[in-house]
Amino acid sequence: MKPATKYIHAGMNPDPSTGAIIPPVYQTSTYVQEAPATHKGYEYARSQNPTRTALEEAYAAIENGNYALAFSSGVAATDAVIKLLQPGDEVICANDMYGGTYRLFTKVFEKFGIRFIYVDTTKTENIRKSVTDKTKLIWIETPTNPLMNITDIAAVAKIAKPKNILVAVDNTFASPALQNPLDCGADIVMHSATKYLGGHSDVIQGALMMNDKDLREKLYFIQKSCGAVPGPMDCFLVLRGIKTLGVRMKAHCENGAKIANWLKANPKVGKVYWPGFEDHPGHEVAKKQMKAFGGMISFELKNDSVEEAKRVLSSTHLFSLAESLGGVESLINHPASMTHASIPREERIKNGLSDSLIRLSVGIEDGDDLIEDLNKAIG
């Protein structure tokens, strides 16, 4: 089945009791059993919920995976993956990734004796050199938030496979419409469904997709035991969002390309970070593993001062100043003081995330209106 058809039909089985075409919001905490331990597969809603089951079926289908689990947030999904590990285990991860992932690794899991080794994963040689007999997981994000760095997923899988190291990919920025890491050899795909999958800035949710049954069982056990499950209404909203993922991503990509090129040609704008540019260092890999280059763009101003960046950030009208991304409406964000404030300044600057960097989540409004808004703000 082609993606556009999957987005509409995956997980959509008519409700067995009424024939409802859309999976109902099963707002229930428990299920009545016929006799002790005789039930219809649903016992207690932390363990199973039919709205969630429908969504998990859709999640698996859109990432070409055999299985999927829905979580209460993206970070809850990441948290479950790290809980597969033991004290002493090592994780190789990107030195440029979502601030909340960095915070979870350094502030929560390091104290349980898990070691995180941060490298520039765009050069897969750095990963190969960091592997030890304690390495159990390689965590990558591509494109990265906010610098749009690209890591070659297939090359990472090639390093990991012979050593039985798991490869997990945060695929939030690309969405399943543009990139499918399981097809490139990854073991686990993670999504903040809060972003493109939900698509309407009205829900917090996370997802994990995988092919291996044993891995699915381990992650499900962690989820059931730790309890980071999404509510049925949130599952309903993401199911609804997925239906338009294909058309939304087309519009995000079209506007993204238009705005990235406009920014690049603007004399007041400095460096523009977008993997669709031929001179982007990850362009060739992006072309290989992505179907298009997305609607996330970061840029610096020629006048590289925090004050000027803050002035622009406060001057747009269609681009709302807010954290998050991937919704139909355009957002503008200052990573240094907002989404990435939890990364120490020194660390940020070292990794190329400057004080004046501006990140755009380009929505699906009319592209010319968006350019006019930016043009007035940049001045």
Ligand X SMILES: *Cc1c(COP(=O)(O)O)cnc(C)c1O
Q: How far apart are CA 167 and CA 365, in angstroms?
A: 36
In the chain, alpha helices (H) = 3-9, 50-62, 74-82, 99-103, 124-130, 153-160, 213-226, 232-243, 245-265, 283-289, 306-313, 345-350, 367-378
Task: Identify which of residues 173 and 236 has a Cβ nearer to ligand X in the complex.
Answer: 173
Least distance CB 1 / ligand X (angstroms): 27
Judge contact between 245 and 176, C-beta under 8 A: yes
74 binds ligand X (CB under 6 A): yes
Rounded to the nearest angstrom, the gap between the alpha carbon of residue 9 and the centroid of all alpha carbons in its chain is: 22
Within 317-346, which residues bind ligand X (CB under 6 A)?
Answer: none
Nearest alpha carbon to residue 63 among 179, 161, 155, 153? 179
Q: Site size for ligand X, by CB under 6 A?
A: 16
Is residue 173 close enough to count as binding ligand X by CB under 6 A? yes
12, 47, 64, 100: which one binds ligand X (CB under 6 A)? 100
Length of the chain: 379
Q: Report if residue 151 touches ligand X, rule: CB under 6 A.
A: no
Pick the piece of the chain touching ligand X (CB under 6 A) from 53-61, 179-187, 189-197, 281-289: 189-197
Of residues 48, 135, 145, 330, which one binds ligand X by CB under 6 A? 145
Is residue 170 a contact residue for ligand X (CB under 6 A)?
yes
Site string for ligand X, 203-232 (x = CB under 6 A): -x-x--------------------------
Q: Of the two residues 141 and 269, which places its CB atom closer to ligand X in the complex?
A: 141
Smaller CB separation from ligand X, 186 or 378: 186
Residue nearest to ligand X (CB): 74
Angstrom distance (rounded) from CA 161 to CA 58: 27
> Taking CB under 6 A as the rule, does residue 175 contact ligand X?
no
Shortest Cβ distance from residue 80 to ligand X (Å)?
A: 12
The catalytic residue positions are: 46, 98, 170, 195
Q: What is the DSSP string of 318-364?
A: SSEE-S---SSS-EEE-TTTTTTTTS-HHHHHHTT--TT-EEEE--S
Residue 261, Cβ density class (10 Å: 0-12 exposed, 13-18 middle, ≥19 buried)? middle
Residues that bind ligand X (CB under 6 A): 73-75, 98, 100-101, 141, 145, 170, 172-173, 192, 194-195, 204, 206
